[in-house]
Amino acid sequence: MTLLDRAEWYDIARATNWTPSYVSDAELFPDVMTGAQGVPAEKWESYDEPYKTSYPEYVRIQREKDAGAYSVKAALERNRMYETADPGWLSILKAHYGAIALGEYAAMSAEARMARFGRAPGMRNMATFGMLDENRHGQIQLYFPHEHCPKDRQFDWAHKAYHTNEWGAIAARHTFDDLFMARSATDIAVMLTFAFETGFTNMQFLGLAADAAETGDYTFASLISSIQTDESRHAQIGGPALQILIANGRKAEAQKLVDVAIARAWRLFALLTGISMDYYTPLEHRKQSFKEFMQEWIVGQFERSLIDLGLDLPWYWDQMINEFDYQHHAYHLGVWFWRPTVWWNPAAGMTPECRDWLEDKYPGWNDTFGKCWDVIIDNLLAGKPELTVPETLPIVCNMSQIPICAVPGKGWNVKDYPLDYKGRTYHFNSEIDRWVFQQDPVRYRDHLTAVDRFLAGHIQPPNLMGALQYMNLSPGEIGDDAHKYAWVEAYRNAPYSKKAA
Amino acid sequence: MALFPVISNFQYDFVLQLVPVDTDNTMDEVAAVAAHHSVGRRVAPQPDKVIRVRRQGDTDFFPRTAKLCETPIKPMETLEFIFAEE
């Protein structure tokens, strides 16, 4: 039997709108679930997804992708990657799996919402595949780290992290709940697929796959590449949805969704990707600084996507670009100092050569962040490790759920951005975080940060041990310096002197 | 006399921190508690200087002997701790 080409039947097959007779259209597609913002159904029928596929094509390609990734894993199972990799690379893997694997299941629910409540038939069709994609990503990113669990309990956090009150897990949940678990189908198309996936994950996964190959972890490289090809397809759900919103007079609403999503995504990326690229990746394997990466992909490429769609740059664009210079350095210092509170071993990335590299990529680093590290190094050399761990909690941003931090030393610019709202004072990391809260205070007002919970008596006993228990961090899981402080020896009898420019 | 949490924004440090103090503490005592979590950990000591306290955004410091309960400082307010000559 001769089969028609896909192009000859695709438009008819995915024209799945109908006129309901048992319930009203509004009951079948409630606004709260569709997020159609009053744009009528017939307008959504012009939605034209740029990437078209059929179910048989999808299954064939996905089967090949899975076969490829799983065969690489099987072939390399005896290559002793775990034993031979730099500890900093293992930390990247642990942080990645814990922060992402179960988030993929959340993304699957979000895709399912688009598949059911998307107002455009094409969106529903694309999201059906996206839902299957995200299910695969959840499974494969739980299966791959599982082989390391018998050797290292921190890998168990690939599954465990989201089930705990560990602060990073709270930050990830809060962001993902906001961007795609508690949103309508249209909001998800814009915030998850366009802003988060096109803007950040798709590009970040490209970089991560390259780093993995450079480091010699071909299993992870093939896994990430396999996921990234799915992302680059289903991330295209948002673009045509934005076009329809803008063409039907909803630009302001669309712009707000984009601005909120980019603001929130940026914080998580600064935390996960920023630290990984500039500190955990061994120096000899670094291709680009995080700032260079952000300049190339976010400023150079994503900015153009926004403009091409007819959107404006978010109002805070310049401020966000300014943060490329410092926010992830502050996050790194915080994660390393509060290292017992994370499920991986932070790599300091603080050899004299690393500091030269940081100074080269971020002029002034030694006079700012370097000043704090100088004190830490002095304490470690003097045999006072107790001064390199915390005795109190950092204040956590009521939006990002990440500690409020900025530039120390000579460029000291740390500041609280408070907001009084209905009798409660909220604290934010920046004007951007505070602005997000102000867009929908009712949505965010009742959430308690880790510090709010501590003050409310939820964490008992009220000390570091109580906090570790609250975060479900058990002995053998709590973080410590990835290289067991070996890097400190480079400074014994040889104080760091800044490399001449 | 009551436990009173404030937020420390310590000069030259990189992060805001929770600092539990007491309403009967003087500003010097509040500063000492804040310093415990920053100075000698991530901020180099400046033994020839004192640490003064002010509200975020203010230029004037509270008197060093003023008790916390005598000031308008609210619980969980962000205070700046600044190295000063006296």
B36 contacts in A (CB within 8 Å)? Answer: 391
CA B47 – CA B80 distance, rounded (Å): 18
> In terms of C-beta density within 10 A (0-12 exposed, 13-18 middle, 19 or more buried), how is residue A455 classed?
middle
User: Strand, coil or helix: what is A5?
Assistant: coil
Does B42 sit within 8 Å of A408, measured CB to CB?
A: yes
Pair of tokens at residue A20: 């309901």
Rama region for A349: left / alpha / beta (φ>0; ψ in -120 to 50; rest): left
B74 contacts in A (CB within 8 Å)? Answer: 425
A415 contacts in B (CB within 8 Å)? Answer: 9, 56
User: Strand, coil or helix: what is B38?
Assistant: coil
Name the DSSP letter for residue A446.
T
Residue to substitute from A339, A416, A424, interface B, most B β-carbons within 10 A: A416
A337 contacts in B (CB within 8 Å)? Answer: 41-42
Picking from A118, A245, A265, the residue whose alpha carbon sits closest to that of residue A195 is A265
Picking from A304, A310, A297, the residue whose alpha carbon sits closest to that of residue A265 is A297
pLDDT at B34: 98
Domain annotation covers residue A24:
no
Long-range contacts of A49-57 (CB under 8 A, 24+ apart): A49/A122, A49/A123, A49/A125, A49/A126, A49/A236, A49/A237, A49/A240, A50/A236, A50/A239, A50/A240, A51/A126, A51/A233, A51/A236, A52/A6, A52/A10, A53/A129, A53/A233, A54/A6, A54/A10, A57/A6
Does B12 sit within 8 Å of A412, measured CB to CB?
A: yes
Name residues 2-31 of chain A within 8 A of B (Cβ).
none
- B24-51 pLDDT per residue, tens: 999 999 999 999 999 999 999 999 999 9
Residue type, A265: A
Q: How many structural domains is chain A composed of? A: 1
Whether residue A327 contacts residue B15, with contact meaning beta carbons closer than 8 Å, is answered with no
Domain annotation covers residue A40:
no
The H-assigned helical ranges of chain B are 27-36
A455 contacts in B (CB within 8 Å)? Answer: 5, 76
Which stretch of DSSP H or E encloses residue A451? helix A450-455
CATH class of B3-84: alpha beta
Cβ-Cβ contacts under 8 Å for A96 (sequence gap 6 or more): A208, A272, A276
Alpha carbon of B56: minimum distance to chain A alpha carbons (Å): 8
Cβ-Cβ contacts under 8 Å for A292 (sequence gap 6 or more): A361
Dihedral of alpha carbons B54, B55, B60, B65, sign? negative
Domain annotation covers residue A44:
no
Give the CB-side neighbour count of residue B82, counting CA atoms within 13 A. 21
Alpha carbon of B15: minimum distance to chain A alpha carbons (Å): 4
Pairing of strands B17-22, B50-55: unpaired
Alpha carbon separation from A115 to A127, A221, A244, B13 (Å, rounded): 5, 30, 18, 48
Domain annotation covers residue A147:
yes
pLDDT at A501: 54
> In terms of C-beta density within 10 A (0-12 exposed, 13-18 middle, 19 or more buried), how is residue A151 classed?
exposed
Cβ-Cβ contacts under 8 Å for A300 (sequence gap 6 or more): none
Does A427 sit within 8 Å of B15, measured CB to CB?
A: no
CA nearest A428 in B: which residue?
A: B16
Dihedral of alpha carbons A177, A181, A183, A188, sign? positive
Pick from B18, B76, B77: which is nearest to A392 by CB? B18
**Residues above pLDDT 70, as percent of chain B:** 100
A341 contacts in B (CB within 8 Å)? Answer: none
Does B15 sit within 8 Å of A416, measured CB to CB?
A: no
Residue to substitute from A333, A335, A404, A496, interface B, most B β-carbons within 10 A: A404
A414 contacts in B (CB within 8 Å)? Answer: 9, 13-16
Asked if pLDDT for residue B1 goes beyond 80, the answer is no
Tens-digit pLDDT profile for chain A (501 aa)? 678 888 899 988 888 899 999 999 999 999 999 999 999 999 999 999 988 899 999 999 999 999 999 999 999 888 888 999 999 999 999 999 999 999 999 999 999 999 999 999 999 999 999 999 999 999 999 999 999 999 999 999 999 999 999 999 999 999 999 999 999 999 999 999 999 998 788 777 777 888 888 888 999 999 999 999 998 899 899 999 999 999 999 999 999 999 999 999 999 999 999 999 999 999 999 989 999 999 988 888 888 999 999 999 999 999 999 999 999 999 999 999 999 999 999 999 999 999 999 999 999 999 999 999 999 999 999 999 999 999 999 999 999 999 999 999 999 999 999 999 999 999 999 999 999 999 999 999 999 999 999 999 999 998 888 999 999 999 889 999 999 999 999 999 888 887 655
Range of the domain at A470: 55-491
CA A199 – CA A267 distance, rounded (Å): 13
Q: What are phi and psi of A112, to 5 degrees?
A: -65, -35
Which stretch of DSSP H or E encloses residue A421? strand A417-421
The CATH number of the domain holding residue A79 is 1.10.620.20
Does B13 sit within 8 Å of A403, measured CB to CB?
A: no
Query: Would the ipTM clear 0.95, i.e. be above it?
Result: yes
